[in-house]
Amino acid sequence: MAVRLDNPDLGTALAELHALAAAHDWDGLAAACRSHIAALEEIDGPVPHVNFQRWLMEYAEQTAIGPDTLGGLAARIGGAAAERQRFRETHAAALSRGTYVSMGCECHPWVILNRWGFRDSLSDLNPFCLGLHRMPHLLELLESRFALYAQPENLSTRIHAASQQPLVVDDTHGVTWNHHRGEIWTADGFARFRAHQAELIGAFHAASSRPGAIHVMSRWINFRPERSAGQIGRLLQAIADAGAASPRLILMDFERDKLPPGIHRIAPEVQVISRPYPAGYQWSGIASYNSPEGAEWERSVMSDFAETVG
């Protein structure tokens, strides 16, 4: 019998996936995804509603479940999911061999590289992966060696519009931790949140110190090739201070008025991938990145990225 979107079991399963993601229980989320994917393989007949399958694919990709497990689900969904799976299978030998350290300014470098298979674990999850860290405050946080990061006197909350839950912010340093929502992160003077961030700071230094590590930043709104050299130099120094023996930085820029589409080397250690958004595109929306236009745009960015790091 087909499982409908309003089926109580399906609704409960999706709610459980959302809850595991909200708690950042990545091991639990990966295990749940594997269980649901295996169950789908046993269905003889119509499959669950595509919305459930898309969320299942999203969470499986974000927990670095590999292409060998995702092939059947991608084929069921088709479209953008199948496009990403083809990319992962085509480039499987090379995709996850590098260390790609997210550096803000939004969640984008973490999310899109996971989605297209560039990581096979979440060991490099760091404070800049799941939040908004705007320049130039991002530089101040790095240059303080994280001494200014997530300090209790600067933490407060703001209501997240979609969920109506409180999310953690630091207005002094322009940080919005939009993936840290709800009492689980705000209770007891942000105790769990601060302990969590301390662990992630260690992961940032460990990843930065790994031989060949490449740091990746996107959505630096005020970046301009002709006048950002000073800040880029400071970023490279901060990367070196974090442990990188040979700092290397990739900027992904999506505005229309800076550089032509493609790959540009603006310094020996710095390359820019320029790919303007499609009209009306919202990179973080599940409907947008699963649309034909979204899949093609993401594929072009990730093809450039694969060429840049290859």
Residue 249 and residue 207 share a domain: yes
- CA torsion angle for 192, 195, 199, 201 (degrees, to 10)? 110
Shared domain for 84 and 104, answered yes or no, is: no
Nearest Cα neighbor of 190 from 166, 211, 171 is 166
- On whether both 129 and 274 belong to a single domain, the answer is yes
The average pLDDT across 287-293 equals 91
Q: Answer yes or no: do 282 and 263 share one domain.
A: yes
Same domain (yes/no): 45, 109: no
For residue 4, pLDDT beyond 60: no
My answer on whether 270 and 166 are in the same domain is: yes
- Which of 71, 90, 109 marks a domain boundary? 90
Tens digits of residue pLDDT in 34-61: 999 998 888 877 766 788 999 999 999 9
Task: Please tell me the least confidently modeled range out of 54-58, 118-122, 160-164.
Answer: 160-164
Cβ contact 172:165 at 8 Å: no
Average pLDDT of 259-276? 96
End position of a domain, from candidates 90, 112, 145: 90
% of the chain exceeding 90 in pLDDT: 81
- Burial code of 119-132, b = ≥16 C-beta within 10 A, e = fewer? beebebbbbbbbbb
Binning pLDDT at 50, 70 and 90, where does residue 95 land? confident
pLDDT of residue 37: 93
Res 151 pLDDT > 80: yes
Q: Which residues span the domain enclosing 200?
A: 100-309
Whether 64 and 151 map to the same domain: the answer is no
| Amino acid 1: pLDDT | 31
Residue 95 maps to a domain: no
Let me know whether 132 and 246 are in one domain: yes
Q: Are residues 24 and 125 in the same domain?
A: no
Q: Are residues 42 and 151 in the same domain?
A: no
Mean pLDDT calculated for residue range 129-140: 96
49: amino acid identity, one letter: H
